[in-house]
């Protein structure tokens, strides 16, 4: 049996709000294997932050069990918290102090050895800028300094909640490279995000959730392959009529951005035959390449969930919101 860094069973959290309760997490089974980067994925409002806050003992679940490295939490959290580093909200540093001085003060406060500061600066590729004041740092560098702060106590599990929010492409790449380096050292990195295309580039395993429920989990390649195959993009002059013809033939059809996405045809040529028989001729017929974002859209079709964003400037998908705003 694979050793787990995080293991939740039947996890549930409901928020009280005016007019009735709002479910933040609904019977969630989350399994994060030891080692590597695990993507905890879903749109804003799907329950990612709520789950993380429960794991860290910041809020209590209504039902279910949680374990970190085999320790029940929150009951045994004091025994394991030293092995966990987390960034859930933007950390506070002194803006006029250097990065090194900020970390030295923090190391003294938590009892970490002073020499650890140079080590974590190197681990996050900040050694050359460690004498610069924090206020001169870019957003990406500030996020890497936050990661450096979590490394002062040498954690085995690192939990990052939306670490690339607000970053430009350069900053996203810097944080992504830092997570890969940490995983290469043998640590477990649990990263939550709604930017699925970005996490696909760094994660070894994933859990995809929607409305507080688990939709898919496993190795990234396995999750994609399990949902892949058989999808064909079809372009035709009259999409509405083509959709009726293909649906009547028993194929699964969805209209997307002026074209059709068709599943269920063993041979794409069968699609052209069906349409040509009715006087419609395709101008595009291409097998679809699956990715995590496409998988998510497949999983949530018909559930009223919008898809996740594929980039930093994409809109926020709607989802159930808690009264306290913590349900992301």
Per-residue model confidence as pLDDT tens digits over 124-152: 999 999 999 999 999 899 999 999 999 99
- pLDDT greater than 60 at residue 212: yes
For residues 155-164, average pLDDT:
94
**Per-residue pLDDT, 311:** 44
**Per-residue pLDDT, 312:** 36
Judged by phi (left if over 0) then psi (alpha if -120 to 50, else beta), residue 56 lies in alpha
**Per-residue pLDDT, 22:** 72
- pLDDT greater than 60 at residue 328: no
102 forms beta bridges with none
Other residues' Cβ atoms within 10 Å of the Cβ of residue 193: 23
Coarse DSSP helix, strand, coil percentages of the chain, rounded to the nearest 5 percent: 35, 30, 35
Q: Would you say 241 and 280 are in contact if contact means Cβ atoms under 8 Å apart?
A: yes
**Per-residue pLDDT, 20:** 59
**Per-residue pLDDT, 230:** 60
Average pLDDT, the chain: 86
CA separation for the pair 152, 173 (Å, rounded): 23
263 or 105, greater pLDDT: 105
- pLDDT greater than 80 at residue 92: yes
- pLDDT greater than 70 at residue 1: no
Half-sphere exposure of 279 (CA within 13 A, CB side): 1
Tokens of 158: 């690192």
- pLDDT greater than 70 at residue 313: no
Could you tell me which of 15, 11, 10 has the C-alpha nearest to residue 321?
15
Q: Hunting for tokens 């998908």 — which residue is that?
A: 317
For residues 60-64, average pLDDT:
95
Say which residues have a Cβ less than 8 Å from residue 322's Cβ, sequence separation at least 6: 15, 17, 22, 24, 50
Rounded to the nearest angstrom, the gap between the alpha carbon of residue 308 and the centroid of all alpha carbons in its chain is: 10
What are the structural domains, with CATH classification, of the chain?
4-226 (3.40.50.300), 229-287 (3.30.70)
DSSP string for residues in 189-202: EEEEESBHHHHHTT
| Lowest-confidence pick of 22-31, 64-73, 200-209 | 22-31
For the chain, give the percent of residues with pLDDT over 90: 62
Say which residues have a Cβ less than 8 Å from residue 326's Cβ, sequence separation at least 6: 15, 24, 49, 50, 53, 59
Let me know the angle formed at the C-alpha of 145 by 140 and 149, rounded to the nearest 5 degrees.
150
Other residues' Cβ atoms within 10 Å of the Cβ of residue 58: 14
| Lowest-confidence pick of 127-131, 167-171, 320-324 | 320-324
- pLDDT greater than 60 at residue 170: yes
The CA-based dihedral angle spanning residues 181, 186, 189, 195, taken in that order and rounded to the nearest 10 degrees: 50
Q: How confident is the model at residue 246 (pLDDT cuts 50, 70, 90)?
A: very high
**pLDDT tens-digit map of 282-309:** 999 988 777 887 787 777 654 434 444 4
DSSP secondary structure letter of residue 49: H
Q: Would you say 196 and 211 are in contact if contact means Cβ atoms under 8 Å apart?
A: no
pTM of the model: 0.76
For the chain, give the percent of residues with pLDDT over 70: 88
**Per-residue pLDDT, 72:** 96
Could you tell me which of 104, 107, 140 has the C-alpha nearest to residue 124?
140
DSSP string for residues in 248-306: HTT-EEEEETTEEEEE--SSHHHHHHHHHTTT--EEEEEEPPP-HHHHHHHHHTTTTPP
260-266: list long-range contacts, CB under 8 Å, 24+ apart.
260/233, 260/234, 260/235, 260/236, 261/231, 261/232, 261/233, 261/234, 261/288, 262/231, 262/232, 262/233, 262/234, 263/230, 263/231, 263/232, 264/230, 265/230, 265/232
| Lowest-confidence pick of 90-94, 118-122, 185-189 | 90-94
| Lowest-confidence pick of 94-98, 103-107, 265-269, 276-280 | 265-269
């Amino acid at each position: 049996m694979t050793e787990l860094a995080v293991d939740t069973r039947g996890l549930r959290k409901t928020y009280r709000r005016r007019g009735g309760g709002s479910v933040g997490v609904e019977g969630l089974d989350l399994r994060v294997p030891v080692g590597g980067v695990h993507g905890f994925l879903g749109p804003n409002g799907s329950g990612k932050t709520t789950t993380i806050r429960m794991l860290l003992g910041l809020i209590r679940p209504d039902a279910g069990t949680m374990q970190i490295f085999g320790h029940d939490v929150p009951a045994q959290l004091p025994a394991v918290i030293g092995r966990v580093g987390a960034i859930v909200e933007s950390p506070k540093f002194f803006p006029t102090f250097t990065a090194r001085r900020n970390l030295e003060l923090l190391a003294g406060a938590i009892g970490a050895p002073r020499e650890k500061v140079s080590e974590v600066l190197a681990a996050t590729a900040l050694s050359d800028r460690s004498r610069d004041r924090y206020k001169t740092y870019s957003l990406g560098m500030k996020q890497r300094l936050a990661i450096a702060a979590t490394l002062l106590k040498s954690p085995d599990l690192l939990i990052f909640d939306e670490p690339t929010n607000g970053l430009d492409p350069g900053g996203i790449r810097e944080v992504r490279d830092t997570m890969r380096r940490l995983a290469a050292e043998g640590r477990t990195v649990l990263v939550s995000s709604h930017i699925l295309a970005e996490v696909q580039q760094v994660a070894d395993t994933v859990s995809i959730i929607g409305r507080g429920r688990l939709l898919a989990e496993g190795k990234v390649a396995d999750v994609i392959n399990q949902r892949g195959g058989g999808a064909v993009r079809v372009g035709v002059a009259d999409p509405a009529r083509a959709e009726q013809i293909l649906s009547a033939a028993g194929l699964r059809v969805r209209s997307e951005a002026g074209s059709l996405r068709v599943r269920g045809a063993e041979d794409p040529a069968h699609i052209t035959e069906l349409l040509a028989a009715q006087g419609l001729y395709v101008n595009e017929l291409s097998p679809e390449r699956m990715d995590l974002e496409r998988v998510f859209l497949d999983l949530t079709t018909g559930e009223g969930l919008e898809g996740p964003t594929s980039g930093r400037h994409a809109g926020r998908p709607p989802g159930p919101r808690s009264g306290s705003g913590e349900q992301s």
